[in-house]
């Protein structure tokens, strides 16, 4: 899907970027804007609205299609995974997520804006920035050096938004998948007692998500996730753009489920109510070579961590990575 979004953007606006860069390269040594280049910029400006509309329509359709597919299939996939991880005797207890909750997952915004609004706003910013720089280049008396810089900046806006569109697509897929997964969990509280956060542990794991890896939040009797004593309230991923975290279900033990003592040993082990056997982020981080630790934290944070003045979990709050002057030490 991400490839399709990029392809749609390239088809609509890729030639705009190429033409801007070509014009910028051709006017550096000129005293004034040549008539040919002026005509190219005017034509580009005039067709910019149509180009932006084309990108908007295709990208919206493709992302909406993929989100709908994710919402419709994620609940079944989660339910199937839970069945594979539990003995057959408990499968009768499982329930599917209601269709209304699937629809809600498609329309829930991140922050205050739904994904389509953020997509549109980004495209309008690209259009307005390109227009501004082109208008400055066309203005009489503008130096060609500054005009070239402005046109390159306009091409840069087109390039930068490509990455923003990819980020929106990936983040929204993750959001819908997590929302539907949690709706499925809440339909199966007879079997589940909590969720455990799983982060992807590598050099790209952000310091907001890293401390939450392997943290478990437990359900109360009403089906709400209780605060963790150390990490506070639960927030459903994604916690930031391109977040890769996922909440895995934690089953009740066979004793908590009131299942017969006659269960096989293998089935009892599958329903022992314990956390997955996986290391937390600090344990993973300590096993990395020094060069990778420095790459992840940066030199300043690495020195503070190495000295023991700051723990890994202190480098970020629940929203963002803290600046060095904001750290406890």
Burial 71-106 (b: 16+ CB within 10 A, else e): beebbeebbeebeeebbeebeeebeebeeebbeebb
Please determine, for residue 140, whether its predicted confidence score (pLDDT) is greater than 60.
no
pLDDT band at 266 (very low <50, low <70, confident <90, very high): low
Kindly report the pTM of this predicted structure.
0.75
Distance CA 70, CA 159 (A): 28
Distance CA 309, CA 327 (A): 10
The vertex-24 CA angle with 21 and 29, nearest 5°, equals 145
Please determine, for residue 175, whether its predicted confidence score (pLDDT) is greater than 70.
yes
Please determine, for residue 267, whether its predicted confidence score (pLDDT) is greater than 80.
no
Distance CA 7, CA 41 (A): 24
Please determine, for residue 118, whether its predicted confidence score (pLDDT) is greater than 80.
yes
Please determine, for residue 201, whether its predicted confidence score (pLDDT) is greater than 70.
yes
DSSP 321: B
Q: What is the mean pLDDT of the chain?
A: 82
Distance CA 23, CA 137 (A): 10
Please determine, for residue 50, whether its predicted confidence score (pLDDT) is greater than 60.
yes
Q: Which residues sit opposite 205 in a β-bridge?
A: none
92-104: pLDDT as tens digits: 778 887 776 666 6
Q: According to the model, what pLDDT value does residue 157 have?
A: 86
Got the DSSP string for 46-100?
HTHHHHHHHHHHHHHHHHHHHHHHHHHHHHHHHHHHHHHTS-GGGGGG--PPPHH
Q: Report CA torsion sign: 136, 24, 160, 118.
A: positive
The closest alpha carbon to 15, from 158, 139, 121, belongs to 158
Q: According to the model, what pLDDT value does residue 95 have?
A: 83
Question: Do residues 137 and 150 make contact, with C-beta atoms less than 8 angstroms apart?
Answer: yes
Please give, one letter per residue, the 3-state secondary structure of 123-139.
Answer: HHHHHHHHHHHHHHHHC
11-15, 167-171, 241-245, 253-257: least confident range: 253-257
Distance CA 37, CA 269 (A): 73
SS3 21: helix
Please determine, for residue 186, whether its predicted confidence score (pLDDT) is greater than 80.
yes
* Token pair in block for residue 25: 């390269």
């Amino acid at each position: 899907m991400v490839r399709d979004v990029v392809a749609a953007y390239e088809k609509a606006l890729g030639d705009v970027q190429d033409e801007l860069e070509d014009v910028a390269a051709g006017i550096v040594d000129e005293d004034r804007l040549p008539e040919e280049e002026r005509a190219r910029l005017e034509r580009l400006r005039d067709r910019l609205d149509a180009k932006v509309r084309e990108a908007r329509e295709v990208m919206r359709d493709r992302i909406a299609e993929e989100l709908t597919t994710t919402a419709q299939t994620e609940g079944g996939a989660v339910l199937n995974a839970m069945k594979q991880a539990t003995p057959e005797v408990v499968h009768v207890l499982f329930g599917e997520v209601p269709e209304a909750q699937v629809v809600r997952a498609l329309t829930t915004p991140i922050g205050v804006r739904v994904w389509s609004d953020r997509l549109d706003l980004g495209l309008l910013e690209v259009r307005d920035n390109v227009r501004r720089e082109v208008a400055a280049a066309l203005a009489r008396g503008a130096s060609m050096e500054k005009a070239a810089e402005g046109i390159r900046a306009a091409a840069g806006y087109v390039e930068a938004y490509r990455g923003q569109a990819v980020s929106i697509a990936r983040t929204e897929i993750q959001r819908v998948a997590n929302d539907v997964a949690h709706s499925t969990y809440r339909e199966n509280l007879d079997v589940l007692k909590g969720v455990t956060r799983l982060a992807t542990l590598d050099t790209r794991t952000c310091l907001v998500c890293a401390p939450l890896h392997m943290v478990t939040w437990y359900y109360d009797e009403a089906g709400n996730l209780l605060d963790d004593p150390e990490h506070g309230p639960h927030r459903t991923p994604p916690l930031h753009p391109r977040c890769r975290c996922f909440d895995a279900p934690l089953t009740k033990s066979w004793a908590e489920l009131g299942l017969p003592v006659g269960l096989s040993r293998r089935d009892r082990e599958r329903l022992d109510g314990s956390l997955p056997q996986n290391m937390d982020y600090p344990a993973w981080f300590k096993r990395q070579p020094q060069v990778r630790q420095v790459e992840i934290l940066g030199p300043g944070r690495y020195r503070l961590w190495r000295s023991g003045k700051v723990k890994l979990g202190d480098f970020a709050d629940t929203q963002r990575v803290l600046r060095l002057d904001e750290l406890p030490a």
